[in-house]
């Protein structure tokens, strides 16, 4: 329980720092690119105000997180327990696969990359299930997605390999 | 509303087979999403929106409304059979639903849930049809100051959907506002925060952001969970499910009261189905002749929870359609869906698109009826759905999510936006930051900024315009009171936690 709370606080601190820096950067962008208005608010006035409030709130949450860590140092008992990963391996792998899947659309096309992704991802998430089922369901998913979105809803997916095969 | 116009609108909708089919598809999908723990009605609607691009507004919105109604009702299945709420609004259903299932009355519990959801949905629908057009007439005199103050009120709802930590909720809301700044300035037409990227010139599109914030974090969270659901021991027939008419008649007061509570809570922005369910359950217990039996398998507990949480659906549509203010997190996504269809909620919607409004009312009614029928006929399927292996389910959801983002503009950049915002959403969720305020900020941010700046231009930068116009003044004051109330509640909650904490020895 304590470990989960500690992980949550780490993420909380991380988000506060990330958004604080983002807001600061955007204030810099607003100051260097905005045009002054001849009448009323300029285009960057309102965003600047929001970024300042964001920085203040992020600083508040971040400082609170730091105080929490100071009030709750790791005990000897917690240190002796095996460390729980902050992000589980499957979540990291899933995210990497999602990025690769999206990048592959323009390389091998939507259909083939959907089949590859579906098979690899479902197998990674549960390696106890037979591989043949992952392949069969992956093929089925590829066909279903193409028929529903590509044919029925006429979404134009990138298909460089299929187009090469068809000779377009 | 002219009666002849209403009838012809209704007939036009119910005689269109495509509309009926799409409402069926939406309701079915909503029930699936509601049944599966971890999936939400919001996610279902966000994934459905890409399918609606080539459709006319009525069937498109009908499909989304069907998903909304089904998504809220579907949560009862897992709540009763597995003691796991399928949706946040079905938490209260577990209190009496699961004990009933353990007593061998799973079918009866599901039946009560189905019929209560139906009654709750129909009663709130009736109130929606009566109240919404009248409220829309009141809004015809609104101009920039009123719209700005309404949007401000909508944004203060962030405080209410922030959960325990108000500061984190506001930060999440501000992130949504920040995303709404990207693109063209609404008054001067200058490009803002586009970093010379042509894809950002039209701004961050709502749909990829919705999918990114709602779908990707949930997928990343659930892919670490093992699929342990075993429904092989559950056998249900239609006879098991339909409650005896005599018992239904005896429960009529509870059904009507809970439905009205749900509708009223739904009309109040940000209160949500969860609050309605708890409130209705509390009232049902108070008025019961046998309050000790609550929590041990009393069907009146299920009636209260399900009638109220589906009662919220019609109620939440009232502020959404008339004022453009979402009643809860799900209707925030629905608002995005309406905007993508080119429809702006408010008095203009009722004036210029009355046919669409009547179509929406009709499809919501059809969706509610279908929700009951589909569950009665297909209850075995929904039980089976609970045991779909999560590895295949997660992979399918990823594909659907990315395809949904891509389909909007056939642009791979939108897929990138979904992935990036999905990662940000996941990190924020792990840190306890809620996502609903981000969506609210993104949806309402542009409207608020545009109307506020227009109002200030018309008043020559005189901020008193928001206080000299009565309606604007009322909404501004309500907004401030809302914020103060939320701050006070958060402070009280903190004091309570401090008091309960054991002293350090």
Tell me if B502 is assigned to some domain. Answer: no
SS3 B191: strand
- Selected for mutation to probe chain B from A3, A7, A11 (highest B CB count within 10 Å) is A11
Report pLDDT for A19. 96
CA angle B140–B144–B149, rounded 5-degree value: 95
Cβ of B178 within 8 Å of Cβ of A154? The answer is no
pLDDT at B505: 44
Cβ distance A109 to A162 under 8 Å? yes
- How many Å apart are CA B296 and CA B282, to the nearest integer? 15
**Contact state of B399 with A117 under an 8 Å Cβ cutoff:** yes
Average pLDDT, chain A: 85
Within a domain: B144: yes
Considering only CB atoms, which chain A residues are within 8 Å of B402? 98, 101-102
Which residues from chain A sit within 8 angstroms of residue B194, using beta carbons?
none
Query: Residue B503: inside a domain, yes or no?
Result: no
The residue among B139, B415, B142 whose CA lies nearest residue A99 is B415
Partner A, chain B 6-25, Cβ-Cβ below 8 Å: none
Give the side-chain half-sphere CA count within 13 A for A152: 11
pLDDT of A21: 96
Q: Measure the CA–CA gap between A37 and A44, rounded to whole angstroms.
A: 9
Residue of B35, B163, B42 whose CA lies nearest to B93? B35
Q: What is the enclosing helix (H) or strand (E) of B183?
A: strand B183-184
* Residue B410 CA to its chain's centroid (Å): 27
- Block residue for tokens 């409030």: A53
> Is B437 inside a domain boundary?
yes
Domain of B161 in residue numbering reads as 3-495
Give me the DSSP letters along B91-153. Answer: HHHHHHHHHHHHTT-HHHHHHHHHHHHHHHHHHHHHHHHHHHHHHHHHGGG--HHHHHHHHHH
**Which two tokens mark A99?**
């990025």
Residue of A nearest to B224 (CA): A90
Residue B215: closest CA among B422, B433, B413, B28: B422
Chain B interface mutation, best of A50, A56, A101, A160, highest count of B Cβ atoms under 10 Å: A50
Q: Which residues pair with B183 in a beta bridge?
A: B192
> Would you call B391 and A95 a contact, using CB atoms and an 8 Å cutoff?
no
Q: Do B390 and A154 touch (CB under 8 A)?
A: no
The reply to whether B504 falls in a domain is: no
Angle at B206 between CA B205 and CA B207, to 5 degrees: 100
Tokens of B390: 């999560």
When pLDDT is cut at 50, 70 and 90, the band that residue A48 belongs to is: very high
B504 in contact with A, Cβ within 8 Å: no
Indicate the residue of B167, B407, B452 with minimum beta-carbon distance to A149: B407
Contact A50 B177 (CB under 8 A): yes
Identify the residue among B177, B192, B431, B447 best suited for mutation to test binding to A, counting A beta carbons within 10 A and taking the highest: B431
Predicted confidence at residue B413, as pLDDT, reads: 93
Element (H, E) at B192: strand B191-192
| B220: exposed, middle or buried (Cβ count in 10 Å: 0-12, 13-18, 19+) | buried
Number of domains in chain B: 1
* Closest partner CB to A95 (pick from B402, B423, B456): B423
Q: Cβ B419–A99 below 8 Å, yes or no?
A: yes
Which residue on chain B is closest to A90 by alpha carbon?
B224
User: How many CA atoms lie less than 13 Å away from A26 in the CB half-sphere?
Assistant: 27
Nearest Cα residue in chain B from A29: B193
Interface size between A and B, measured as CB pairs under 8 A: 166
pLDDT tens digits for chain B (505 residues)?
677 778 888 888 888 899 999 999 999 999 988 887 767 788 788 888 888 877 888 999 999 999 999 999 988 888 888 777 777 778 889 889 988 888 888 888 999 999 999 999 999 999 998 888 887 777 667 788 988 888 888 788 766 666 668 889 899 999 999 999 999 988 888 889 999 899 999 889 877 888 888 788 888 888 766 655 555 666 667 677 788 888 888 899 999 999 999 998 888 765 667 778 888 888 898 888 888 888 888 999 999 999 999 999 988 888 888 888 877 778 888 888 888 888 888 777 888 888 889 999 999 999 999 999 999 888 777 777 667 787 888 888 899 889 888 887 888 999 999 999 999 999 999 998 988 788 878 878 888 898 899 999 888 888 899 999 888 999 899 888 888 887 887 788 778 877 776 655 4
Which residues in A lie closer than 8 A to residue B400 (C-beta atoms)? Answer: 145
Length of chain A: 168
CA dist B149 and B317 (Å) reads 20
* B447 in any annotated domain: yes
Is B376 inside any structural domain? yes
Q: Which residue of A has its CA nearest to B187?
A: A43
CA nearest B173 in A: which residue? A54
Cβ contacts of B394 on chain A, cutoff 8 Å = 94, 121-122, 125
* 8 Å CB contact of A145 and B403: yes
User: Closest approach of chain B CAs to the CA of A165, in angstroms?
Assistant: 22
Query: What was the pLDDT predicted at B124?
Result: 93
- Using DSSP's 3-state secondary structure scheme, residue B244 falls into coil
Query: What pTM was computed for the model?
Result: 0.79
Residue A1 Cα, gap to closest chain B Cα (Å)? 14
A43–B185 C-beta distance less than 8 A: yes
DSSP string, chain A: -HHHHHHHHHHHHHHHHHHHHHHHHHHHHHHHHPPPPSSS--TTHHHHHHHHHHHHHHHHHHHHHHHHHHHSPPPHHHHHSPPPPSS-HHHHHHHHHHHHHHHHHHHH-HHHHHHHHHHHHHHHH-TTS-HHHHHHHHHHHHHHHIIIIIIIS------HHHHHHHT-
Quote the minimal CA–CA distance from A121 to chain B in Å: 6
For residue B461, what are the CA distances in angstroms to A42, B386, B402, B452, B455?
12, 57, 44, 10, 8
Instruction: Write out pLDDT tens, residues A54-110.
Output: 999 999 999 999 999 888 887 766 666 666 667 788 899 999 999 999 999 989 999
Cα B168 off chain centre by: 21
Contacts with A, B 201-230, CB within 8 Å: 216, 219-221, 223-224, 227
């Amino acid at each position: 329980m304590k470990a989960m709370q500690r992980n949550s606080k780490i993420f909380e601190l991380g988000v506060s720092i990330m958004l604080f820096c983002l807001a600061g950067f955007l204030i810099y962008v607003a100051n260097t690119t905005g045009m002054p208005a001849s009448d009323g608010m300029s285009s960057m006035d309102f965003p600047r105000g929001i970024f300042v409030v964001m920085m203040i709130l992020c600083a508040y949450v971040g400082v609170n997180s730091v105080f929490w860590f100071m009030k709750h140092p790791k005990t000897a008992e917690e240190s002796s327990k095996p460390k729980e990963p902050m992000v589980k391996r499957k979540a990291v792998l899933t995210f990497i696969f999602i990025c690769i899947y999206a990048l592959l659309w323009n390389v091998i096309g939507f259909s083939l990359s959907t089949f590859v992704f579906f098979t690899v991802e479902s197998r990674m998430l549960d390696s106890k299930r037979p591989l043949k089922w992952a392949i069969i369901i992956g093929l089925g998913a590829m066909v279903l997605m193409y028929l529903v979105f590509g044919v029925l809803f006429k979404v134009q997916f990138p298909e460089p390999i299929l187009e090469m095969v068809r000779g377009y | 509303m002219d009666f002849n116009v209403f009838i012809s609108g209704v007939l036009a909708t119910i005689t269109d087979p495509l509309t009926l089919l799409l409402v069926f598809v939406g309701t079915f999908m909503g029930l699936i999403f509601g049944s599966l723990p971890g999936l939400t009605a919001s996610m279902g609607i966000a994934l459905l929106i890409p399918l609606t691009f080539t459709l006319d507004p009525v069937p498109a919105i009908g499909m989304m409304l069907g998903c909304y109604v089904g998504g809220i009702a579907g949560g009862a299945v897992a709540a009763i059979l597995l003691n796991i709420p399928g949706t946040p609004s079905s938490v209260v259903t577990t209190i009496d639903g699961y004990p009933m299932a353990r007593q061998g009355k799973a079918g009866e519990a599901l039946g009560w849930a189905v019929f209560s959801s139906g009654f709750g949905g129909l009663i709130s629908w009736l109130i929606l049809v009566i109240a919404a057009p009248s409220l829309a007439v009141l809004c015809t005199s609104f101009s920039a100051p009123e719209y700005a103050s309404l949007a401000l009120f909508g944004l203060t709802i962030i405080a209410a959907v922030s959960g325990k930590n108000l500061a984190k909720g506001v930060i999440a809301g501000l992130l949504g506002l920040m995303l709404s700044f990207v693109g063209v300035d609404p008054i001067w037409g200058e490009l803002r925060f586009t970093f010379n990227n042509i894809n950002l010139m039209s701004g961050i599109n709502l749909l990829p952001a919705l999918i990114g914030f709602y779908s990707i974090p949930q997928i990343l969270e659930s892919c670490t969970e093992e699929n342990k659901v075993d429904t092989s021991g559950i056998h249900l027939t239609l006879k098991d499910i339909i409650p005896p008419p005599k018992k239904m008649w005896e429960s009529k007061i509870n059904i009507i009261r809970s439905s009205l509570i749900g509708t009223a809570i739904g009309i109040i922005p940000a209160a949500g189905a969860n609050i309605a369910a708890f409130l209705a359950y509390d009232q049902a217990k108070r008025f019961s002749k046998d309050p000790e039996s609550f929590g041990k398998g009393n069907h009146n507990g299920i009636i209260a929870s399900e009638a109220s949480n589906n009662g919220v659906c019609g109620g939440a549509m009232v502020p959404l359609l008339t004022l453009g203010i979402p009643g809860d997190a799900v209707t925030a996504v629905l608002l995005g869906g309406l905007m993508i269809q080119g429809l702006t909620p408010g008095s203009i919607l009722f004036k210029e698109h009355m046919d669409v409004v009547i179509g929406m009312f009709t499809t919501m009614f059809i969706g509610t009826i279908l929700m009951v029928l589909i569950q009665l006929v297909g209850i075995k399927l929904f039980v089976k759905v609970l045991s779909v292996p999560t590895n295949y389910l997660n992979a399918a959801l990823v594909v659907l999510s990315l395809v949904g983002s891509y389909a909007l503009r056939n642009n791979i950049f939108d897929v990138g936006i979904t992935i990036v915002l999905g990662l940000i959403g996941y990190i924020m969720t792990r840190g306890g930051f809620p996502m609903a305020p981000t969506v609210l900020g993104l949806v309402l941010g542009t409207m608020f900024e545009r109307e506020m700046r227009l109002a200030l231009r018309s008043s020559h930068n005189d901020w008193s315009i928001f206080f000299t116009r009565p309606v604007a003044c009322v909404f501004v004051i309500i907004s401030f009171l809302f914020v103060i109330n939320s701050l006070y509640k958060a402070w009280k909650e903190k004091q309570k936690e401090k008091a309960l904490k054991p002293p350090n020895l």
